Amino acid sequence: MNVLGRHLLLELRECNPTYLDDLEYVKEVMVGAAQSVGAQIIGESFHQFKPQGVTGVLAIAESHISIHTWPEWGYAAADIFTCGTTVDPQEAAQILIEKLESTRPYMTEIRRGVEVPDLVSIP
């Protein structure tokens, strides 16, 4: 089976806590990242937590971009999952890293849909 999609898991440490607690800013950054890589936004949902934090999901035709923030820790967890070859999730990830001012980002990429002999099949 060919790779059907690329799924990036982002650990965004040492971010600007003010940005992480600003729903409109987080939304603007995510929408901007999606648009800049040519993703087609088909839906969205964002929520501001009290006393702090933001969560958000962009449904894109290519799959999704999501985030959950902990301003008190300067930390955000984000997912970027894209199917096909027209959208580069790593470009979108770099935008999130830069705009949230993460000084210690960590990224894991999972190739979705591939056959990997080492994986255990769950019945």
Q: Which are the catalytic amino acids?
A: 63, 68, 83
- The residues with which 46 forms a beta bridge, in sequence order, are 56
Quick check: 54 and 20 in contact, CB under 8 A? yes
DSSP assignment of 45-107 equals: EEEE-SSS-EEEEEEETTEEEEEEEEGGGTEEEEEEEEESSSS-HHHHHHHHHHHTT-SEEEE
Count of CA atoms in the C-beta half-sphere (13 A) of 15: 31
Instruction: Find all residues with CB under 8 Å of 119, minimum gap 6, and list them.
Output: none
